[in-house]
Structure 1
Amino acid sequence: MVHVARGGEGPVLVLLHGLGATGSVWRGAADSWPGAWVAVDLPGHGRSAPLDRYSFGSLAAAVASAAPSGPVAVLGHSLGGVVALALASGWFGVDVRAVGAVGVKLRWTPEELAKAAALAGKPARVFGTRDEAEAWASRLAGVPVDDGVVEVDGGWRAALDPAAFGVGAPDVAGLLAVAKAAAALSAGELDPMCPPEHLRAARADGLVLPGVGHNAHVEQPEALGPVLDRLHGLLVR
């Protein structure tokens, strides 16, 4: 089961968060969208159930099961950006007319992949208090998150399923090649995970968002204005 939050009326924007976060991180940006929005908790995050196996395809299929019918724009951050691009392939039955990806890590070293795989194999840390678990959940996400912890035997833990770390490196070039919707790639000017030179090498028309880092949608939601404008224009044209 995938948890979604909804708001607004009009052209629909589906919002997909990054690894460790929840749909709550989109509140500021959602307010700037001139239409309806749907913010998803990805599987293994927040209030959504975990998966037996994590891949970009399995995440996209789970999101597709909860996506609205009819044409939509999809905007994802980091991991969510890759899932958004997967949905734009048309393979999952969602009518994606425009897709945006913010802060997707485009280059991975063997060491980074090995570290992610190691994290995926570790059990979730259990804390004695909710406050401790919430602090850990926010550290994992890189931003403060709501609905990011669950109560378990012995205390509290981050809602994030550690196995999600094992999703691997995305084939962004391949996903862009098969996308059936116009795509807008972007990243913060100060994003260490997707620096401007990586973004522009992958996509010459990539949007560099001034003055923000990896979590632009949380740091300065208004910085996403050019991305939202482009997606809205593509969706309603």
Structure 2
Amino acid sequence: MTVPTLAAVDFGGPVDGPLILLGPSLGTSAATLWGGVADGLVTRARLVGWDLPGHGRSAPAAAFTIADLAAAVLALADQLGAQTFHYAGDSVGGAVGLQVALDAPHRMSTATLMCTGAVIGTPDGWHERAATVRADGIAPIVAAAPQRWFAPGFVERHPGVAAALLDSLSRTDPQSYAWTCEALAGFDVARRLTEIAIPVLAVAGRDDVPTPPESLQRIATGVSNGELVVLDGVAHLAPAEAPDRVAALIAQNVGLSPAPAAGTVDDVYRAGMAVRREVLGDAHVDRATAATTDLTADFQRMITEYAWGGIWTRPGLDRRSRSMITLTALIARGHHEEFAMHLRAARRNGLTDDEIKELIMQTAIYCGVPDANSAFRIAADVLSDDDAAGGAR
């Protein structure tokens, strides 16, 4: 067995905190893929990523298998002095996590596996891609990557993140990329999932084509202690596309305490304003800001600090869940104007029209039929107007 040497990417964190090892996707580096997630966890855990051979900081290596990579991850843990560790991995990094859980179950405490599978693609497909890279270099892969990696609209919303990931791909050693493809061609642990007993959180991107939600569902139901989460507005690189949501999910799976509050009131305000804009949209926040008067200025700041900076930034729930709770509370209290505003926010946070319908149906039982009737009337107007304006379904 050939055990490649994997370069470690140490994001920092308390030396006495739990260790979380972070595995990359094919064609990415740990720094570009996991940087945003690490920012959300580094005060509570030690974060160390690793790069595939010939990717990021790792030197190229001879042919290897997923089992070889799993052994290399265990060797990295040994170098870090860790008898046990938590693990999170995306795509091939998730496949390596499954292999480690099978080969050394006593070493891995929890696994958060995203955009991956117990088997990924087909052997013929991987061998074909390996042959393409050996013949034509990495350029054809870079050209096709945006459609394969990112959910619709991500590149336009986050051009810097996308550019950094594509630049990392363009610098990948073609031979090492091909070896990784051939390692995935030989990977299939679907029949062994029942052997995995550690807590496994399987995280899927709803828009992921290479490893769709069904692939993660297979993992979640196949292991002894599994759970599935599907992220809306996310494709194949969940850590880069939704770092806040992924950080919160890892923290929950690992059992980390909530993130400490920002150091100053201004920090809280800035964090709250960022989330407020992401959830409600720039247009709404700009209108609210423009309408602020001396009479309402303190109230607006209080909302931003306490609601958006104090609550919506907490890692314990993702934004979809917070939207559902908020809509339910607004229906129950009859706050129709706020309900209309948060319907649009709920769509931005990934809720579908069917999920909104089911939420209102649920409130009919627990909040009252008249409240639900009003909610359906408002939803019909708001969602149709949002569609007319080009809002997402």
Q: In the TM superposition, what is the alpha-carbon distance from 1:45 to its structure 2 partner?
A: 1.5
Of structures 1 and 2, the one scoring higher in RCO (CA 8 A, sep 6+) is 1
Distance 1:172 1:184, change over 3 A: farther
1:13, 1:73 within 8 Å by CA — same for their partners in 2? yes
2:179 pairs with 163, 173, 188, which one? 163
Structure 2 residue runs without a partner (length 5+): 150-161, 222-226, 257-393
Query: Residues 17-62 of structure 1, C-alpha deviation per residue, up to 9 Å, x if partnerless?
Result: 0111111110101122221110111223222122322210111112
Distance across 1 between alignment mates of 2:101 and 2:219: 17
TM-score normalized with structure 2 length = 0.49
- Out of 87, 98, 119, the residue aligned to residue 110 of structure 2 is 98
Q: 1:83 to 1:75 in 2, by over 3 A?
A: same
Question: Within the alignment, does 1:87 sit opposite 2:100 as a pair?
Answer: yes
| Distance in structure 1 (CA, Å) of the matches to 2:45 and 2:143 | 31
In 2, the alpha carbon distance for the partners of 1:206 and 1:229 equals 15
1:128 equivalent in structure 2 = none
Q: Work out which of the residue numbers 71, 89, 112 in structure 2 matches 1:76.
A: 89
Deviation sequence 1:56-84 (CA, Å, 0-9, x none): 01111122221231321010000000111
SS in 2 for 1:88: helix
Q: Distance in 1 between matches of 2:199 and 2:236?
A: 23
Give the Å deviation of 1:170: 2.9
Cα 1:137/1:178, change in 2 over 3 Å: farther
Question: Residue 178 in 1 paired to residue 175 in 2?
Answer: no
Residue 210 (structure 1) shift: 2.2
Question: Quick one: which of 209, 222, 228 aligns to 1:192?
Answer: 209
Return 156-165 or 44-53, whichever deviates more: 156-165
Change in Cα spacing, 1:95 to 1:111, as seen in structure 2 (3 Å) is closer
SS at match of 1:32: helix
Tell me, which stretches of 5 or more residues in structure 1 are unaligned? 126-132, 150-155
SS in 2 for 1:97: strand
User: What amino acid sits opposite 1:3 in the alignment?
Assistant: A
Shift of 1:102: 0.5
Q: 1:96 to 1:222 in 2, by over 3 A?
A: same
| Structure-1 residue corresponding to 2:39 | 31
Q: Secondary structure at the match of 1:158?
A: coil
Please identify runs of 4+ aligned residues in structure 1 that moved more than 6 A. Answer: none
Q: Deviation of residue 137 (structure 1)?
A: 9.5
Higher gyration radius (CA): 2
Checking the alignment, whether the CA contact within 8 Å between 2:193 and 2:219 is kept in structure 1 is no
CA distance, structure 1, for counterparts of residue 97 and residue 114 of structure 2: 10
Once the two structures are superposed, the pairs formed by residues 30-179 of structure 1 within 5 Å of their partners are: 30-33=38-41, 34-67=44-77, 68=80, 69-91=82-104, 95-105=107-117, 106=119, 108-109=121-122, 111-119=124-132, 121-122=134-135, 124=137, 136=142, 139=145, 142=149, 143=162, 144-145=164-165, 148=168, 158-159=172-173, 161=176, 162-167=178-183, 168=185, 170-179=187-196
Q: Give the helix-richer structure, 1 or 2.
A: 2
TM-score normalised over the length of structure 1: 0.78
Give SS of 1:145's match: helix
Residue among 16, 29, 37 paired with 1:22: 29
Query: Are 2:265 and 1:221 aligned?
Result: no
Distance 1:100 1:54, change over 3 A: same
Amino acid at match of 2:8: V
Q: How many Å separate the matches in 2 of 1:224 and 1:100?
A: 9
CA distance in 1, matches of 2:171, 2:246: 31
Residue aligned with 1:198, SS: helix
CA distance 1:147–1:61, shift in 2 (3 Å)? farther
SS of the counterpart of 2:86? strand
Distance apart, 1:191 and its partner CA: 1.1
Cα offsets for 1:98-156 (capped at 9, x unmatched): 1121101445246523423424654745xxxxxxx8x949949945339948xxxxxx9
CA RMSD between the two structures: 3.1
* Structure-2 separation of matches of 1:157 and 1:31: 24
Aligned residue in 1 for 2:6: 2
